[in-house]
């Protein structure tokens, strides 16, 4: 696990000075990512949220938009649905507002690399993430990007040792960041049953396009 943490931290440091998400996502092989990004369609639809004051570029017009509270009862925001089978959501972006407490996440733009590594390590060890890194959403605005784990080791008897391995139905890509006007956001990719390289690349481009309008 320590190796995974250090690899994520090193990769995070590497992308701090380059184009957002330019480094390969650690979930996929570099050659897969390069091939997929070359074939990724353009984001052709601009979604404007009147309720929460933001715009984001999407791969298509959502087939439906529902309150985030329908999936996450304690959250505010919207779910932009791009593909579904009845109530089964196949592809969607979940945009959460007021996603984290101001005091619990420092200003990422002011952190030194050792401070950023310590922050990532703490988040990684307390969440079921497969990978985590910092990324530049703009040249002046830094966020945290993570992918949830497919399998999680659980300590059921409190002895400090994992004795059960749970397998998730799906994985999610997640980005936490502050907007240019100070809003606190979390954007998640739902891609059932498996994360697809092309959908991750589209999602990453969408996150970078996010703008607050009020």
Per residue in 136-169, pLDDT (tens digit) is 888 889 999 999 988 766 666 777 666 767 677 7
Q: Which of 23-37, 79-93, 164-178 has the highest mean pLDDT?
A: 79-93
Per residue in 80-93, pLDDT (tens digit) is 999 999 989 999 99
Assign residue 160 a region (left: φ > 0; alpha: ψ between -120 and 50; beta: otherwise).
left
Q: What is the DSSP letter of 132?
A: E
- Rounded alpha-carbon distances, angstroms, from residue 73 to 34, 69, 77: 37, 4, 11
- The pTM for the full model equals 0.79
Nearest Cα residue to 153 out of 125, 131, 173: 125
Contact 208, 185 (CB under 8 A): no
- Pull the structure tokens for residue 101: 């407490």
- Rounded alpha-carbon distances, angstroms, from residue 68 to 99, 123, 176, 186: 11, 23, 16, 11
- Pull the structure tokens for residue 23: 């480094």
Q: Which of 5-19, 151-165, 196-210 has the highest mean pLDDT?
A: 196-210
């Amino acid at each position: 696990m320590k190796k995974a943490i250090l690899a994520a931290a090193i990769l995070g440091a590497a992308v701090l000075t380059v184009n957002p998400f330019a480094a390969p996502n650690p979930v996929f092989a570099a050659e897969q990512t390069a091939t997929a990004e070359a074939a990724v369609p353009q984001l052709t639809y601009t979604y404007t949220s009147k309720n929460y004051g933001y715009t984001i570029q999407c791969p298509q017009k959502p087939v439906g938009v529902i309150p985030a509270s329908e999936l996450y009862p304690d959250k505010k925001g919207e779910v932009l649905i791009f593909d579904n089978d009845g109530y089964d959501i196949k592809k969607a972006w979940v945009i959460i507002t007021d996603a984290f407490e101001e005091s619990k996440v420092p200003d990422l733009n002011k952190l030194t690399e050792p401070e950023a590594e310590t922050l990532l390590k703490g988040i990684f060890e307390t969440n079921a993430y497969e990978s985590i890194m910092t990324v530049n959403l703009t040249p002046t605005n830094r966020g945290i990007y993570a992918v949830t784990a497919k399998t999680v080791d659980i300590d059921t008897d409190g002895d400090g040792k994992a004795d059960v391995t749970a397998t998730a139905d799906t994985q999610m890509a997640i980005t936490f960041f502050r907007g240019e006007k100070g809003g606190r956001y979390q954007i998640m990719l739902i891609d059932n049953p498996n994360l697809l390289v092309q959908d991750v690349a589209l999602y990453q481009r969408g996150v970078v396009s996010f703008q607050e309008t009020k």
